[in-house]
A = this chain, B = another copy of it.
C-alpha cells in the first residue's frame, strides 16, 4: 500500500464514489507517472483522509477509505521568524516531514524581508509535495506572514514555547513531559530574537526554552524542535 502514488485533492473534486481530476492531476498521473486504466493510486484530502482510488479513463473511482497512522496525536504550530533568502522552503519541507500542523511565518524585529504573495503559494506547494512524500494524511496549513506581536497575542495553545539560544533556559526536551493538545513553538531569525520580543512572548505566556549547548542556524532549529516534539509524542 505504502508504495502507491499519492495526490492531494480538494474535497470538492469528490462526487460520491467518483473523483474528478484536474488537468494537472491528469497530466501527472497519465503522462508523468504513466498510470494505465485500472491502476490504483491514493487520493489525500490534506485533512486526514486517504482514499484508495482506481484510474478509470480520465477520472478516479474511489475504492475504499484507508486508515492512516502517520499523523502526530498533537497539533503543532511553528511560528517561524522569516529567515533570509529561500531558507523557509527547507523549513517547510522538513517540518512537514516531521508532522507539523501549521506554519505561521512571522515578521520579527530582525527580519529583513516582507515576502511576496508568490512565496506563500510556493510554500503551500512545497508542503503539499512533502506531505505526499512523507506519507502523511494531512497537508500542513501555511498561513500568511504576520507581525510578531500579532502572532504571540492572537494565537492560542495550551503549550507555548519560544526557542532562544542565549540565556539560561531549560531544554525543550525537559519541559515536554505532558505532550498533548496544542503546541506552539516559536523560532527566531538569524541573530535571534530581541530582548523586547522575548519579554513580549513571556507576557503572552510563552516559555523560553533552549535547544542545546551549540548555536543552531535559524533553519536547523525548527527541525530540531520538531524532532524532539514528535519523538516525545510518539515514543
Contact = CB atoms under 8 A, between A and B. Distances in A.
A171 B232 CA distance: 11
B212 A94 contact: no
Contacts of A215: 2, 97, 133-135
Nearest to A174: B235
Contacts of A213: 69-71, 234
Q: Quick one: copies of this chain in the complex? A: 2
A136 interface: yes
A82 interface: no
Given A98-B224, A171-B231, A214 B166 contact: no
Contacts of A2: 166, 215
Given A173-B235, A227-B228, A97 B136 contact: no
Interface of A: 2, 69-71, 90, 93-94, 97-99, 133-136, 166, 171-174, 212-217, 220, 223-224, 227-228, 230-231, 234-235
27 contacts: A2-B215, A69-B213, A70-B213, A71-B213, A93-B217, A94-B217, A97-B214, A97-B216, A97-B220, A98-B212, A98-B220, A98-B224, A134-B214, A135-B215, A171-B234, A171-B235, A172-B231, A174-B235, A212-B230, A212-B231, A212-B234, A213-B234, A220-B223, A223-B224, A227-B227, A227-B228, A228-B231
